[in-house]
Structure 1
Amino acid sequence: MGSKTVYGAGDQQLGSIIFISHGGGPWPLLKDPRHANLIDFFQEVPTLLISPQAILVISAHWEEDAPVVQSSPHPEMLYDYYGFPEESYRITYPAPGHPELARRISTILNASGIKSSLDSTRGYDHGLFVPLMLMYPDAIVPCLQLSLLSSLDPGQHMQLGKAIRELRKENILIIGSGSSFHNLRAFREPPTAATIGLNQEFEGWLRNVMVSRELSESEREQQLVRWDDSRAARYCHPREEHLLPLHVCYGVAGGPADRVVEVEYMERTASMYIWSTTD
């Protein structure tokens, strides 16, 4: 699969929840050589996951004051990037939406005390269509998105995940689409020993928090709430919107990840976390 490191691979059940680092804009779809390892990962990762009847994506590229669920039956494309080659604005991913599931998710959130709403006009942003075009190119499985909260509060995002935990009992693949490393300025600069060290330090800290069986769930939650106490945290995430889909995924899962895959792209290391299906 290229340059990658896998932790906890074992004989695991297939995953129903995954946090992915989705790469730089549409570059993976343009076969950018700096994303070769990530492209390989996205093309092979479905073998680690359930065969879903629906896909729910929590994308780093959608923030609202309160949770909003995408409810269009046929979402259009939202090219939420700029300065890329012309062909990146002709990309299409014609997967159907899932209005019925959107309404149910909104109902579940409202019943849990989290006020939510539906958006029938928003299209698929690149946090969805970039990885899914490589993972599920046939575009047959219905997809929908759930927004982040503009508060960027990590505890609120874990609560958002907890509120929709019942979806894990169904054949729904939940994807948190962001990145464990998201410093745009750093991507434009050559890595140094110091910056590589900060990247690896944060990855090591995050991996330990997400997979350690020695932590109680209360301890794990506290560490995720205070994620920026890590010395390298703000170098890797000057703004945390790309990390918060992980908090939602953890909230749904309620326990440590079963598998971690670290992939090198654009001269940095980023990680993916997979939680297996429940019995």
Structure 2
Amino acid sequence: MRRRGIAPTFARMTLPTMFVPHGGGPCFFMDPMGGPPDPMWRPMQAYLAGLIASLPERPRAILMVSGHWEAPAVTVHVGARPRLLFDYYGFPEHTYRLRWDAPGAPVIARRAAALLQAAGHVVAEEDARGWDHGVFIPMMVADPDAAIPLVQMSLRADLDPAAHIAIGRALAPLRDERVLIVGSGMSFHNLRARGAQVTPVAAEWDEALAAAVTDADPARRAARVADWELLPHARFAHPEAEHLLPLMVALGAGGDGAATRDYRDVVMGWAVSAFRFG
């Protein structure tokens, strides 16, 4: 029985942060009849489908950083009902009619902007750009009912690793506000290198990256990941860095908590991993 005059207390849950693979184009939705994807993509689809259930509690909103949006300054989307931006090419016609109608979260977007500005970052807002496929393709799997409001945030166009880790650190308070921070990219992303002949090199890169990302010492972890170009086969794995930079944001927001590899598979000859922080 509750004693009069004493308010009940509830444990506050701190959500982890995540770096997830978003696949290739509309890879999970290639069947116009809605059937399962190519067997190659099914383990990744299963991982994404279990993402929300794996959390300690359901988030009230998601803040997602995609490897498909760069801007001069870090930019938050403040729109209430973003459209979809079909920024992939050469896929079946029906994949340009996909729907994912989750609401935006302007209040969360402006809260994120305020945290970044307080930490000294230059921040912009916009409300016209659609959610790119780095957002809506994985989210159609993770939240098929489109029930969780989502904010997209851009990368900074200079793709500076340490700056993106610092951006993540500034956003960390959102974790205590039931906002899930997700980096959406690919841990290997070289579109000119595919097939089984790539796998040994991709696997060596992937193991080196995982060792850096899961370093038990948070300061050393951040330093090793910021220096990702020193890892073996780094520029083969990422001729351009935009698909790796969302990892930096997730790592920074994860703070001093544990870092684990959540998923690993081989697709298109690429060894691909996902990571969880906190």
In the aligned structure 1, how far is the partner of 2:147 from the partner of 2:76? Answer: 20
Structure 1 contact 162–251 (Cα < 8 Å) conserved: yes
Distance 1:22 1:209 in 2: 21
Pick aligned residue for 2:100 from 85, 93, 109: 93
- Asked if 1:145 is matched to 2:152, the reply is yes
Question: Number of residue pairs matched?
Answer: 258
Aligned to 1:191: 196
For 2:226 and 2:275, how far apart are their aligned partners in 1? Answer: 18
The aligned residue for residue 102 of structure 1 is 109
Bigger CA drift: 79-88 or 267-276?
Answer: 267-276
2:252 corresponds in structure 1 to: 251
Matched, 1:48 2:54: yes
Residue type of the alignment partner of 1:263? D
**2:7 aligns to what?**
none
Q: Which runs of 5+ in 1 are unaligned?
A: 1-12
Secondary structure of 2:196's aligned partner: coil
Task: Give a deviation string over 1:165-218, Cα, whole Å, max 9, x none.
Answer: 11111111111000101011113xx321xx3221111111111112232xx333
Which range moves more in the overlay, 141-150 or 24-33? 24-33
Q: Deviations over 1:97-140 (max 9, x none)?
A: 01111111112111211010111111111111011100110001
Q: Does 1:35 align with 2:41?
A: yes
Which shows bigger deviation, 171-180 or 247-256?
247-256
CA distance in structure 2 between the partners assigned to 1:126 and 1:16 by the alignment: 23
> Which residue of structure 2 aligns with residue 210 of structure 1?
213
Normalised to the residue count of structure 2, the TM-score between the two structures is: 0.88
Moved over 3 A (4+): none
CA-CA distance at 1:219 after TM superposition:
1.9
Report the residue type matching 2:276 in the other structure. Answer: I
Task: State the AA in 2 paired with 1:209.
Answer: A
Unaligned residue ranges in structure 2 (runs of 5+): 1-12, 31-36
> Which of 262, 269, 272 lines up with 1:270 in the alignment?
272
The one-letter code sitting in structure 2 at the alignment partner of 1:27 is C
Describe the SS at the equivalent of 1:169: helix
Partner of 1:10: none
CA RMSD of aligned residues (A): 1.6
Q: Which residue of 2 aligns with 1:22?
A: 22
Equivalent-residue separation in structure 2 for 1:219 and 1:16 (angstroms):
20
Report the Cα offset of residue 15 of structure 1: 5.3
- Code of the aligned partner of 1:73: A
What's the TM-score once normalised by structure 1's chain length?
A: 0.88
Highest CA radius of gyration, 1 or 2?
A: 2
Partners of 1:99 and 1:14 in 2: CA distance: 22
Please, which moves more after superposition, 81-90 or 22-31?
22-31
Which residue number corresponds to residue 6 of structure 2?
A: none
CA displacement 1:59-102 (0-9 Å, x = unmatched): 00000110100110000010111111111110111000011111
SS at the partner of 1:251?
Answer: helix
- Contact 1:181–1:237 at 8 Å: present in 2 too? yes
Q: Does structure 2 conserve the Cα–Cα contact (< 8 Å) formed by 1:38 and 1:264?
A: no
* TM-fit CA distance, 1:144: 0.9
Alpha-carbon spacing, 1:14–1:158, altered in 2? closer, same or farther (3 Å) = closer
State the alpha-carbon separation in 1 of the partners of residues 106 and 262 from structure 2: 32
